[in-house]
Amino acid sequence: MKMEVRTRFAPSPTGYMHIGNLRTALYEYLIAKSQGGKFILRIEDTDQERLVEGATDVIYNTLRMTGLHHDEGPDIGGDYGPYVQSERMGMYMDYAKELVEKGQAYYCFCTKERLESLKESNAEGAAFAKYDRHCLHLSPEEVQAKLDAGVPYVIRQKMPDSGTTTFTDVVYGEITVDNAELDDQILMKADGFPTYNFANVVDDHLMCITHVVRGSEYLSSTPKYNLLYEAFGWEPPVYVHLPAVMRDAHHKLSKRHGDKSFEDLINEGYLVDAIVNYIALLGWSPGDTREIFTLKELEECFDISGLSKSPSIFDIKKLTWMNGEYMKNMDFEKFYALAEPKLTEALGGTGLDLRKIAELLQKRLETLNDIPGLVGFFKELPEYGTELYTHKKMKTNDEIALSSLKAALPVLEGLADWNTQSIHDALMALVGELGIKNGQLLWPVRTALSGEPTSPGGAMELADILGREESLRRIRVGIEMLEK
């Protein structure tokens, strides 16, 4: 019988959801769903100093918005709860003591000052300092005496002195490390909380997690994880380490350096579906040239073998292009629901038909935040210069523009019906009468109506939306300007 695939997203509630974190959650979700498995949410809050108020809500909201629905978690329960590490506190010490009894871990009573002096005396600097096993050699009687006296302690994992530890990673293949390089890592801290590494192993085992997906920066810690599994006699999971998401060839994405979080991208007018689609392709290839996927399609075609070991560069231009494609191809009602708040903000109180404006915008936008800048002229005609009337391709200049606007004004004033079709028919008939090119009439009219070098929609659509009185007023303004 095939074992059920179980993956877990185990974020620490320390603030925003950065792109690398969201990608990890997405791949964990896709690994589970593509194989009919379960995706679990676990909140890892053992590092109490780093907790940020409201950060757990950010996690829930992001998963909800992106459609990465978990099958088990703190909010919905499951057979392996509780799903918040601080609520599982009672058992970690029991597991650590089990390792002490097996000779795989030991009590360490060293003070902070002693440990600092070890770092200082290490010629290679603090980053390379290893614990010198001072407390490993205490006798059982000495250990008991210190425990009875209430001396603060941590519990450390006892690493093998010699030999190597080998594990296989789905992305990076077989990796071997010398055990002599491994530090006797702390499992239980002096405050009674487990370290991240220890709680992770215990929880993953108890929750029957089959695949552990995380960043490649954890590759060097994995032998320590595996030695813990071995010490307990547990089956280790399948490891999937992901290469970094980079800002450029040399720098990882970092909020500290102004790189965007998921929330930032949403606030900047990117669509959730486009962000998820783009992130899926940061380190995974579907094996063909397709680039646009719904989440459902990703679930169906995701294959773990498509993961790359090369770092991916987060290209905001590529995301922006993809976002534009999503908006172009979106059902209009869905698009309008997204665009309407921005349109109301920009054009509230004008009485203009926002749906008509949205129709003009849909094929032209890159992000929703482009909307205010593209529609401001509907509310108020901007100040502009006559140079806008000169257009090489349209074969217009000030002189042609002036005669075209003077000819268009009485024709438009005499229209019985004011709509796109009647305006179109009247202006095209005038083009025929004047014996000029379309652009020589339509460009000056569009320019007079918008006062912008470009606009969503041409002369007929703009006149229809602005209405008879405002359109005629703006054309008169254009005539006056060109006559000066």
Tell me which residue has tokens 């993961």. Answer: 307
CA 12 to chain CA centroid, nearest Å? 16
Q: Please say if the pLDDT value at position 47 is more than 90.
A: no
Confidence of residue 49 (pLDDT cuts 50, 70, 90): confident
**Upstream peptide bond of 82 is cis (omega within 30 degrees of 0):** yes
- For residue 348, what pLDDT is reported? 86
- For residue 430, what pLDDT is reported? 98
Read off the pTM: 0.90
Residue 109: CB atoms within 10 Å = 18
- Range of weakest confidence among 93-97, 251-255, 280-284: 251-255
- Which stretch, 37-46, 48-57, 369-378, has highest mean pLDDT? 369-378
Q: Please say if the pLDDT value at position 409 is more than 90.
A: yes
- For residue 382, what pLDDT is reported? 97
Q: Please say if the pLDDT value at position 258 is more than 80.
A: no
Please list, in sequence order, all residues whose beta carbon lies within 8 angstroms of the beta carbon of residue 138, skipping any fewer than 6 positions away.
Answer: 106, 107, 109, 146
- Range of weakest confidence among 13-27, 150-164, 325-339: 13-27
Residue 110: CB atoms within 10 Å = 17
Which tops the pLDDT comparison, 402 or 3? 402
- Annotated catalytic residues are 255
SS3 (DSSP) at 453: coil
Q: Please say if the pLDDT value at position 127 is more than 60.
A: no
- For residue 128, what pLDDT is reported? 53
SS3 (DSSP) at 275: helix
Give CA–CA dist 43/13, Å, rounded: 7
Beta strands in 222-331 (DSSP E): 238-242, 245-246, 312-313
Q: Which of 331, 333, 322 is nearest to 365 (CA)?
A: 322
- For residue 123, what pLDDT is reported? 59
- CATH number for the domain whose boundaries are 6-83+245-313: 3.40.50.620
Confidence of residue 238 (pLDDT cuts 50, 70, 90): very high
pLDDT tens digits, one per residue of 353-392? 999 999 999 999 999 999 999 999 999 999 999 999 999 9
Give CA–CA dist 250/192, Å, rounded: 39
Which tops the pLDDT comparison, 252 or 74? 74
How far apart are the two ends of the chain, measured CA to CA in Å? 87
Topology, domain 86-242: Rossmann fold (3.40.50)
**CA-based angle 307:310:313, to the nearest 5?**
105
- For residue 122, what pLDDT is reported? 64
278: left (phi over 0), alpha (psi -120 to 50) or beta: alpha
Mean pLDDT of the chain: 94
DSSP state of 250: S
Q: Please say if the pLDDT value at position 14 is more than 90.
A: no
Phi, psi of 102 (to 5 degrees): -80, -5
* Angle formed by the axes of helices 19-33 and 272-280, nearest 10°: 80
Q: Which of 68, 57, 32, 37 is nearest to 275 (CA)?
A: 68
Q: In Å, what is the CA distance from 222 to each residue of 6, 41, 97, 241, 252?
A: 19, 21, 22, 10, 21
- For residue 74, what pLDDT is reported? 96
Q: Please say if the pLDDT value at position 126 is more than 60.
A: no
For residue 476, the number of C-alpha atoms closer than 13 Å in the C-beta half-sphere is 9
Q: Kindly report each contact of residues 127-131 with a partner whose C-beta sits within 8 Å and lies 24 or more positions away, as own/partner.
A: 130/183, 130/184, 131/156, 131/183, 131/184
Q: What share of the chain in percent tops pLDDT 90?
A: 86
| Rg over CA atoms, the chain | 32
Domain ranges across the chain: 6-83+245-313, 86-242, 330-379, 386-483
- CATH number for the domain whose boundaries are 386-483: 1.10.10.350
- For residue 129, what pLDDT is reported? 67
Q: What is the 3-class SS of 18-85, one letter each residue?
A: EHHHHHHHHHHHHHHHCCCCEEEECECCCCHHHCCCCHHHHHHHHHHHHCCCCCEECCCECCCCCCEH
CB distance 6 to 33 below 8 Å: no
CA 432 to chain CA centroid, nearest Å? 54
SS3 (DSSP) at 212: strand
394: left (phi over 0), alpha (psi -120 to 50) or beta: alpha
Tell me if 86-242 shares its fold with 386-483. no
CB distance 209 to 4 below 8 Å: no
Task: Write the DSSP assignment of 342-398 as a string of letters.
Answer: HHHHHHTTS---HHHHHHHHTTT-SSGGGHHHHHHHHHSPPP--GGGG-BTTTTB-H
Confidence of residue 90 (pLDDT cuts 50, 70, 90): confident
